[in-house]
Amino acid sequence: MRNFLRKWQDELKKTFTGKSDAPPDWALRLSEGDDPGYHLPGSAVWAVHGSMSPIVAGIRTLLMQSLHPGALAGVHEHSNFREDPLGRLAHTIRWIFTVTYGSRAAAEEASRMVRRLHEPVQGSYSDNQGTLRSYSANDPELAAWIHIAFTDAFLTAHKIWGGSIPGGPDAYVREWAQAGRLMGVDNPPLTEAEMRQQLDRWYSGNELRVDARVAETVDFIRNAPLHPMLRPGYRILFAGAVYSLEPRYRAMLGLEVPRLGPFPLPVKLATKAVLGVVRLALGPRGPSEMAARARLRRLGCPEADL
């Protein structure tokens, strides 16, 4: 039994970081830098991203982002998500945690690197009226959709499965707006109400759509190519992500909250239980947070031990 648990823990770590035997080098390097960073202990961003709810939020983000044909075209035509989905996940986690926990210089460099990788991600797609439209991954409008889908997913998941948020939901939206600016978003929302208004405009503006490519993407996310040991837990986390979606988006994606077995547990409770097990396996503080605290102590910041 002990060997099984160790193997499961190793596969879990490898899924999130690409390594099972040690923290990734980039996480350890977050102890470097000469400034406190954009976010500090006690902030809304640290509270949300330091919890386990981002695991569900990440799945929800992918589902939501797939509704924009430009974003989806970029993924299908310019990424290797089918061949190496865990590698893509690890790169995304690296950017999120670097912006969350790193120095300002590290956050800015990580964002510049992502934007450089996005430069060749260009092409065209047909909109809902059949008009051919061009897209670019670094286009501010497309970046705005990616940012708002992310912010909504992480805030919603934390409201359901996380703890309190210092300053409340508005503080998280306002603080994470900095990440949007780093990625070229013009005027990211600064309050939850503003974020909801922007989402409503996207929904009512006939920009989003569902087609065969969306259905293929949803099926891929539902049946992610994970190690067999992780699939039962992932099935519950996927159900949690679907549960967290607004009904209008669930309908667009052709999804219903799945039943969990012949005598189904409530999805909300089952998801909470899985996240609790993951927390026990990974520990209360990840290497990125620990490295950030080491940097803050070196710089003499009083927030280091909050």
Could you read off the pLDDT of 122-142 as tens digits, one per residue?
988 877 777 788 888 899 999
The two three-digit tokens of residue 35, written as one number = 């400034």
Q: What is the mean pLDDT of residues 268-280?
A: 94
Closest CA to 67 of 251, 220, 257, 252: 252
Q: Would the pLDDT of 181 be above 70?
A: yes
Q: What is the mean pLDDT of residues 149-178?
A: 98
- pLDDT value of position 5: 67
- pLDDT value of position 294: 97
pTM over 0.75: yes
Q: Is residue 252 within 8 Å of residue 67, measured between CB atoms?
A: yes
The 3 state secondary structure assigned to 20-73 is CCCCCHHHHHHHCCCCCCCCCCCCHHHHHHCCCHHHHHHHHHHHHHCCCHHHHH
pLDDT tens for residues 191-219? Answer: 999 999 999 999 998 889 999 999 999 99
- pLDDT value of position 162: 97
Alpha-carbon gap, residue 29 to 206, rounded angstroms: 43
Most distant CA pair in the chain, distance: 58
Please tell me the total count of domains within the chain: 1
Domain that holds residue 113: 2-305
Band of residue 271 on the pLDDT scale cut at 50, 70, 90:
very high
Give residues with Cβ within 8 angstroms of 212, minimum separation 6: none
Q: Would the pLDDT of 145 be above 90?
A: yes
Positive or negative CA dihedral for 273, 274, 278, 280? positive
- pLDDT value of position 2: 63
The two three-digit tokens of residue 71, written as one number = 């974003």
Q: Specify whether the backbone of 264 is left (phi greater than 0), alpha (psi in -120 to 50) or beta.
A: beta
Band of residue 90 on the pLDDT scale cut at 50, 70, 90:
confident
Q: Among residues of the chain, what percentage have pLDDT more than 70?
A: 95
Q: Which strand (E) or helix (H) includes residue 125?
A: strand 122-126
